[in-house]
Chain A
């Protein structure tokens, strides 16, 4: 680019080669303000370097204490707790599926065509989706006492709105033509649903349910911390008494279970697809 071309380029697009001072000033001011706000927040949260360092020091001690991991002679109990966590996840998922199925059918635009009803229904589901399972669990454990029962209901309650929404989307996305074809052959409405709609939506729904089973297994581990039993309870107990060799053992076992469940559900999903 020779000087003549450069001058012309400056004339045509002044901002491209050198942003105006005003613009640069504004950019700098915004950057500085954002950095200042970040530092102010850190100060307000008392994130002092000294406490960070001492915390990491303690974390190092925990880690040193946790080697080698051990089951603390309580392996059967840990395995039972893991099974209990999986049982909570499965029971919660099945209940959520059973409740979400009719809700999903009602929520589908192709089933309930009335726009106002559809809007109100969908919005109310949206509101409930904002409440995480932990918040449900806190309420339910205090209502039903300690134990997995409250956890199962909490998982189900947290899943129902999302599953219902996904189900109704699956129904809306289904192709009408097979349904029309089966109807044209003169079968009963129930048979039309069975052979016209179900083959299209059941695989989609089943794979979503499997996804929820996976995520519920993770959530169920957390619910134990607020008193819903299972592996979360065992973990919390051991963290409280600083038995980190057992904590690391349980976390390792739990991660293996999560990976195994993910693998099983992935292969099931692939068979469905």
Chain B
């Protein structure tokens, strides 16, 4: 009897001790986190910055200025009539041209980046590249590329190549290479080794082995990743224009500079529509590829 009760007492004491330690740890964690958070809000001037009075009212006014005053009766009139659609989209031909340039930038950059990523992926896949030093170097390079934000790279390249789509294409191609190189190499590492062994046994060289042993297995996955990346690159290309790397972003920047907020909304809607269309197209292509893969 006394043995049981002493065991219970010991257990209770241990439990209380553990609980107290856990609570102390949680409390300490919370204190540290709150301190960091407090410093963060202070440093980012979240509460202290002079944003003028009535911030909500200013956002409201801002949204109000973004929405164009379209007039129902003049909706379809020409661009000189205030309140018509054509007046809102007053520079539509130019925006469409720049929009198309953005699409071209995204496509060209995706193709170049995919080719670069393809080469890199063969160099850093464990089953295809026997030399560990090469694998390590290529992997670290790709990682470094992925860490660097696109816009920073674009700034440097605009300084080197001058303002225009060339800098934007190279920026997007490099960052596409960074991400696709990694994804492709992961696909490569999942390649079925038996086909490669068969080819090696029949005396195929390195190039033939990759062309006939690896490519047929990985091509559908490659294409699907590249198409997803194309969608991302379109949004990226639209943003790069802000630093002068070509495409429609320059018009966004101009609209903000001249405080034409309704124009900003017009161009933003154009970009969202463009991304939407590319999404549909690339999804259709992807589904067809997957469908083809199944019927084989």
- A residues with CB within 8 A of B: 38, 41-42, 44-47, 51-52, 55-56, 58-59, 62, 83-84, 86-88, 90-91, 94, 127, 130-132, 134-135, 138-139, 142-145, 147-149, 151-152, 218-219, 221-222, 225-226, 232, 235-236, 239-240, 242, 247, 251, 255, 258-259
Taking a contact as CB atoms closer than 8 A, the residue among A147, A225, A232, A259 that contacts B45 in the complex is: A147
* Contact call A130/B272, Cβ cutoff below 8 A: yes
Complex interface residues of chain B between 214 and 254 (CB less than 8 A to chain A): 235, 239, 242-243, 246, 252-253
The answer to the question of B291 belonging to the interface, with a C-beta cut-off of 8 Å to chain A, is no
| Distance of A144 from chain B, by nearest CB (Å) | 5
Interface digits, B39-60 against A, CB 8 Å rule (1 contact, 0 not)? 1111111100111100100110
Q: How far is the CA of A225 from the CA of B153 in the complex (A)?
A: 12
- Min Cβ gap A80→B in Å is 8
Question: Can you spell out 11 A-B residue pairs with CB atoms less than 8 angstroms apart?
Answer: A38-B108, A52-B161, A90-B36, A139-B62, A139-B66, A142-B259, A144-B51, A148-B49, A222-B151, A240-B159, A259-B147
- With contacts A45-B166, A55-B162 known, is A148 near B44, CB below 8 A? yes
**Given A41-B104, A90-B36, A138-B253; A218-B160 close (CB under 8 Å):** no
Q: Write the residues of chain B forming the contact surface with A, with a CB cutoff of 8 angstroms.
A: 36-37, 39-46, 49-52, 55, 58-59, 62, 66, 101, 104-105, 107-108, 111, 144, 147-152, 155-157, 159-162, 164-167, 169-170, 235, 239, 242-243, 246, 252-253, 256, 259, 261, 264, 268, 272, 275
**Could you count the A-B residue pairs with CB atoms below 8 Å apart for me: how many are there?**
153
Question: Is there an interface contact between A221 and B149, defined as CB atoms closer than 8 Å?
Answer: yes
Cβ B45 vs Cβ A149 within 8 A: yes
User: B59 contacts which chain A residues (CB < 8 A)?
Assistant: 143
By secondary structure, the B interface counts as helix
B contact residues around A218 at 8 Å (CB): 147, 149
Q: Please determine whether B147 and A225 come into contact, CB atoms closer than 8 angstroms.
A: no
Say what secondary structure dominates the interface of chain A.
helix
A220 to B19, CA, bound (A): 39
Bound complex: CA A135 to CA B242 (Å): 10
Q: Are A132 and B44 in contact (CB under 8 A)?
A: no
Closest to B153 in A: A251
Contact A87 B43 (CB under 8 A): yes
Q: Please, which residues of chain A bring their CB within 8 A of the CB of B144?
A: 255
CB distance from B62 to the nearest CB of A (A): 5
Instruction: Evaluate contact between A226 and B242: CB separation under 8 angstroms.
Output: yes
CB distance from B169 to the nearest CB of A (A): 6
Residue pair B166, A236 in contact (C-beta under 8 Å):
no
**Complex partner residue of B46 from A38, A52, A149, CB under 8 angstroms:** A149
| B165 x A46 contact (CB < 8 A) | yes
Contact present for B160 and A62 (CB under 8 Å): yes
Contact present for A47 and B169 (CB under 8 Å) = yes
User: How far does the Cβ of A203 sit from chain B's closest Cβ, in whole Å?
Assistant: 15
Which of B155, B157, B164 is most buried by chain A, counting CB atoms within 10 A of its CB?
B155
Question: How many angstroms between the C-alpha atoms of A226 and B43 in the bound complex?
Answer: 19
* CB-CB nearest in chain A for B240: A134
Cβ–Cβ < 8 Å partners of B51 in chain A? 144-145, 149
Contact B242 A41 (CB under 8 A): no
CB atoms of B155 and A239 under 8 A apart: yes
Among B41, B152, B165, B246, the residue within 8 A (CB) of A221 is B152
Contact between A45 and B272, CB atoms less than 8 A apart: no
Q: Is the CB of B166 within 8 A of A52?
A: yes
A27 nearest CB across to chain B (Å): 13
Known A-B contacts A45-B105, A55-B161, A242-B159; the reply to A90 vs B49 at CB < 8 A is: no
